C-alpha cells in the first residue's frame, strides 16, 4: 500500500491505527473438534481443577514433547484488522525441507533433559522408552530434591503413539511416576505447545541454518537464555487454561 501511494510505510501504519485497526500475527488453524472430543476435554479439565483446588501439584509436573526445528523458517505475516477480527494465516515451513526433531522435558525450574535428533531421525517406541530412562537419570542429577519428596513425579505428555505404547507405560510404572490426564487434540492444554514451543517459534522466525551443528548451538543458547521464572510461568498457567476450557464447553479458547 505504501508503494502504491508513494508514502512511507510508517505513514500507512499511523493512518491504520487512527482508523481503529490493530496489528495481529497470523496463527495456525487448530484441529476441528467433534462433540465427543470437546466433552472429553471439558470433563478432564474439571477433574484436574478439582484436584488442583484440593492441593496443588504443579511443582511436581514434568512435561515434554517433540518439535521439528526447520533449517529455514518463514516469518508469520502480520495484518491490520478491526479488534475481534481474525488475523491473516501463514503457511507453515515446508515439512519436506531439512529439519531436526527437538525432544525436551522441563518443569517449573527449567529444562531437565533434551535431545536434538539428527535430520531424518524420529521418535519410535524404543527410543521414547530409552528417553524416559534418560529423563529419570537427568532428574536424579538435576533435581536431587525429588529423592526427599513424598510425592512422585507427575509426567504430562500427549497421546502420541510412542507415548501410549505398552512398553513405555510399563517403564513409566517401574519408574514410579504418575501420568497426568491429557485429552487428545489439546495443544492449548500442553505447556510445551502453548508456552515453550510458542516462544521458540517466535525466536526462530526468519532463522536460517546451514548445518545441524548450527541448529544444535542455537537450541542450547536459547535454553540457556531463559530464566527460571519463564518456565515457572509456563507450568503455572495450567489452572487458568483448564478453567477456560471448562468455560468454553471444551472448545478451543484461543
Domain assignment of residue 137, yes or no: yes
Domain assignment of residue 209, yes or no: yes
Amino acid 166: pLDDT: 97
Domain assignment of residue 253, yes or no: no
Amino acid 228: pLDDT: 97
pLDDT digits (tens, 9 = 90+) for 182-199: 999 999 999 999 999 999
Domain assignment of residue 252, yes or no: no
Domain assignment of residue 70, yes or no: yes
Domain residues for the domain of 195 are: 2-247
Task: Please say if the pLDDT value at position 28 is more than 60.
Answer: no
Domain assignment of residue 64, yes or no: yes
* Dist. CA 28–CA 254, nearest whole Å: 11
pLDDT digits (tens, 9 = 90+) for 75-117: 665 556 676 666 555 555 555 579 999 999 999 999 999 999 9
Amino acid 29: pLDDT: 43
* Contact predicate 81/87, CB 8 Å: yes
23 vs 136, which has greater pLDDT?
136
Torsion sign (Cα): 155, 160, 163, 165? positive
Domain containing 196 — which CATH number? 3.30.420.10
Question: How many distinct structural domains can be found in the chain?
Answer: 1
Q: Which residues of 65-104 are buried (b: 16+ CB within 10 A; e: fewer)?
A: bbbebbbebeebeebbeeeeeebeeeeeeeeeebbbbbbb
Domain assignment of residue 28, yes or no: yes
Task: Please say if the pLDDT value at position 150 is more than 90.
Answer: no
**CA torsion, ordered 140, 142, 148, 150, to nearest 10 deg:** -80
pLDDT digits (tens, 9 = 90+) for 29-70: 467 899 999 999 999 999 999 999 999 999 999 999 999 999
pLDDT band at 161 (very low <50, low <70, confident <90, very high): very high
Looking only at the bridges linking them, the beta strands covering 61-70 and 154-156 are: parallel
pLDDT digits (tens, 9 = 90+) for 230-250: 999 999 999 999 999 999 999
Domain assignment of residue 48, yes or no: yes
The reported pTM is 0.80
pLDDT digits (tens, 9 = 90+) for 216-226: 999 999 999 99
Nearest to 114, CA basis, from 63, 180, 44, 49 = 63
* Dist. CA 13–CA 145, nearest whole Å: 52
Amino acid at each position: 500500500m505504501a508503494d502504491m501511494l508513494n508514502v512511507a510505510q510508517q505513514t500507512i501504519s499511523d493512518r491504520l491505527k487512527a482508523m481503529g485497526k490493530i496489528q495481529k500475527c497470523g496463527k495456525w488453524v487448530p484441529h476441528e473438534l467433534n462433540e465427543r472430543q470437546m466433552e472429553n476435554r471439558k470433563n478432564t479439565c474439571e477433574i484436574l481443577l478439582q484436584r488442583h483446588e484440593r492441593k496443588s501439584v504443579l511443582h511436581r509436573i514434568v512435561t515434554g514433547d517433540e518439535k521439528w526445528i526447520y533449517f529455514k523458517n518463514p516469518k508469520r505475516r502480520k495484518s491490520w484488522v478491526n479488534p475481534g477480527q481474525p488475523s491473516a494465516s501463514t503457511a507453515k515451513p515446508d515439512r519436506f525441507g531439512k529439519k531436526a526433531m527437538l525432544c525436551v522435558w522441563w518443569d517449573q525450574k527449567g529444562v531437565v533433559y533434551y535431545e536434538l535428533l539428527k535430520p531424518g531421525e524420529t521418535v519410535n517406541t524404543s527410543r521414547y522408552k530409552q528417553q524416559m530412562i534418560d529423563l529419570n537419570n537427568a532428574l536424579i542429577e538435576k533435581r536431587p530434591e525429588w529423592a526427599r519428596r513424598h510425592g512422585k513425579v507427575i509426567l504430562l505428555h500427549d497421546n502420541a503413539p510412542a507415548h501410549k505404547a505398552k512398553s513405555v507405560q510399563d517403564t513409566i510404572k517401574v519408574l514410579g511416576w504418575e501420568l497426568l490426564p491429557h485429552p487428545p487434540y489439546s495443544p492449548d492444554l500442553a505447556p510445551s505447545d502453548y508456552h515453550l514451543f510458542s516462544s521458540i517459534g517466535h525466536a526462530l522466525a526468519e532463522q536460517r541454518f546451514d548445518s545441524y551443528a548450527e541448529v544444535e548451538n542455537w537450541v542450547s543458547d536459547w535454553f540457556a537464555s531463559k530464566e527460571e521464572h519463564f518456565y515457572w510461568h509456563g507450568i503455572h498457567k495450567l489452572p487458568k487454561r483448564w478453567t477456560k476450557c471448562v468455560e468454553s464447553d471444551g472448545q478451543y479458547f484461543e
